Structure 1
Amino acid sequence: MAALFKDSPEYEARKKVPFSPPAITIKDVHAAVPKHLFKRSTEKCLYYVGRHVAVSFAFYLCATRIDSTVLRIASQHDLGSRAVSALRYVFWALYWFWQSVAFTGLWTLGTQCGHDALAPSALLNAVLGLGLHTFVLTPYYAWRATHRSHHKGTNNLDRDETYHPQTREELNLPPEHVATPMDYKELIEETPLYTLWKMVIRQFLGFQLYLIHNRKGNPKYPPWTSHYKPSSLLFKPEDRPYIILSDAAMAVMICLLSFWIHSTSWNNVWRLYVVPWLVCWSDDRLRVMLMLLVVLCSGPIIGGSNIAGIEALADYAPGLS
């Protein structure tokens, strides 16, 4: 049994050999990839985009019928108010999870457009990428510029744009050769509320905060360096007209969401769009969904009001659109 928790002899031997990076160039990597895999197809591009849009729309249509479906099931099986609420939680959690997956797919396709990897036409990549990213509230051209820079300097602390860990100095840690276990204990000791707060921010808003003010981005930029500012040091001068275009597209999307809220309700847009949009940025959707359910089950049921029983649910369901 103890052997299960030991490294293999091969791994132990490999650790004793100093690591040296392989002498492989990007040209060598490209040469090893079959040539047909570099060929882009307009038909396949439109198929994948259309499929993802259709799947997302299908999830949306299903979600608009959740409350009426729960009402019908409750009527057929004479369910109590708690059972009705629990059933609604389950259905909405399923929608949020799968719609977040669909949103992530749309965002990923938009990112590939930013690499000019989806379609052979640069114009088609631009149109699709701008539309897909704007739908999930990502400034297409701004993200395109910094994401390309990220790929050119991935994991390089000087040149990479994202994922910069804090240094020992920033964490107020002494040099490694003089640090004591107590120094680390004070840094990582359990603080549940603070950890929960950091987890919520990281899971739901981390990417947006990076776009807004370069949170966890390269510290070489001044404070509040933003993807939404055309004159930002993140961009080259020739990028600025496109950053303005991205900002304009984002403004249009926000106006459309505002009109949707005005036409229906905030609760409606919150459940159908905002929650899956928040969850789609999470690296751990299942854990986030459990956290959401715990939070929601500890207070009013989804929709913002304590609806007790089937009669009140019947009044609520017709208003969903």
Structure 2
Amino acid sequence: MTDHPPTAATPFDVPRPAVRPRRLRRTPALRRLVAETRVSGADLVLPMFVKEGLTEPAPVPSMPGVLQHTRDSLRKAAREAVEAGVGGLMLFAVPAQKDAEGSGATDPGGALNTAVADLVAEVGDATTVMADLCLDEFTDHGHCGVLAADGSVDNDATLDRYAAMAVALAEAGTHLVGPSGMMDGQVRAVRTALDAAGHTGVGVLAYAAKYASAFFGPFRDAVDSSLTGDRRTYQMDPANGAEALREVALDVAEGADAVMVKPALSYLDVVRRTADAVDVPVAAYQVSGEYAMVEAAAARGWIERDRAIAETLTSIRRAGASIILTYWAVEAARELS
């Protein structure tokens, strides 16, 4: 005897399932109850751009909804992010003047250091103020370090600049610095400089596995990049996964308090492997191109925007990231609350 006799509509003796996973998908409440992965506003970090000399916020053409801020609009946006429940702010600056050494990066009155001080004064410890520690926004050649005579990026000379930049950012009041240039030894140089200057409480969020990605394109609009050529001699080859674990291990050994994989969506396998390999927090950066693709497709009616945003954030969290940098941070935090 079968558990369900055949009928005219089902002339075959098709066995019926004894286990039915669909039972737990029947209602929105059930799906929420059994969800394995949850994203909260506290997991999200909002990247923000401030541009020296602006009198009004300026839209970034390739990133709908993202602005280059004035100092005043930056403070206002920071307050709004805190009220939404965002876990942190990552600050980038666009200076009015650039030079070969990126001297604006270490100027206490420069665009980034004054903006960090503004945010710390505005929001205090209500959120985590982070600053990107790199020279690319400040150099007239657009590379992440100083150049040698042959035009290549001089790794060790760049470490000296990163050390000075770390101290300047710490003195401005940042809670975390984010060395992102992928120079060998950058975390040790930054940690050593911070400690020697008495800033032992300032943390290091290391961009440990940062790939030479096509998805960074719109970001260059956001920071008015001066880059010619590419960064493939120092950022990672997208073909390599095991190498990322080596980079991560080096950064942890050098004193990183947390590590980052960038970009996120094309490297979810690297996020997962990193999370399995380390005992420090793992961040992933949902970069400008990932943001722009969703916004562009949604504007054309090709995908459901809100569902796509939620799905991408959930996938990054599911892969193992406990911190997600995303341009949707404020919107998502409000929705999640």
* Structure ranking higher in helix proportion: 1
TM-score if structure 2 supplies the norm length?
0.21
TM-score if structure 1 supplies the norm length?
0.22
Structure number with higher relative contact order (C-alpha < 8 Å, ≥ 6 residues apart)? 1
